[in-house]
Amino acid sequence: MTTNWLRALLLTLLLLGVPAGTPATVQAAETPTATVERLNAALLEAMKQAETLGYQGRYDKLAPVLKDSFDFPAMARIALGGHWSSISTAQQEAFTEAFADYSIGVFADRFDGYGGETFEVLGEQEARRGAVLVQNQIVKSDGEAVAINYLTRPEDGGADWRIVDTILGGTASELASRRAEYDSVIQKIGIVALIDALKDKTAGFAAQ
């Protein structure tokens, strides 16, 4: 019985493409740097094809990578702060979707051309609560470097890392800026109006 069971297991591993002797449940853990490097590669490719793709083409090309690299649901909760628990589940879902679409639209709009730029990951720095800041920059063709750092947090027990904030210029938290903006909008006109405003901004990128 034992011999037959082992033969069946080895046959299954071969069919799955897993080398004998390698546990089927073991997967290579992704590092914070790997997450950012994958994002950089996608951005660079979109920039090089920017004119051919157009805004919508860049959006479609970047969307899968951005959704895999950023933890948009967590970012949406942080961006709303205390307002998150006071809105309905349906509104939470609608805001998260609008927030993710807008975030992807921002990238597709900003990275709209290529002039010899390169991306460089300079290293990692430990942050609070188990987060890791990936020090990253875009280097222009004239050598000028602009910091675009990413704050990452582990997901699934630390096997994968997702971005939860973009630090522009090395110091300016984009998520903190949005949180302040969204708080003001909600207090003045409410969450439904904020969701509609995000949708309008996203649509506006395509209309430019």
**Tally of structural domains, the chain:** 1
Residue 139 structure tokens:
């280097």
Q: What is the pLDDT, as a whole number, of residue 19?
A: 39
Residue 5 resides in a domain: no
Residues 112-167: tens digit of each pLDDT: 999 999 999 999 999 988 999 999 999 999 999 999 999 999 986 667 899 999 99
Residues 47-72: tens digit of each pLDDT: 999 999 999 999 999 999 999 999 99
Residue 46: CATH number of its domain = 3.10.450.710
φ/ψ (deg, to 5) at 87: -110, 165
Domain that holds residue 202: 32-175+190-207
Residue 7 resides in a domain: no
**Distance from C-alpha of 73 to C-alpha of 79, rounded to nearest angstrom:** 10
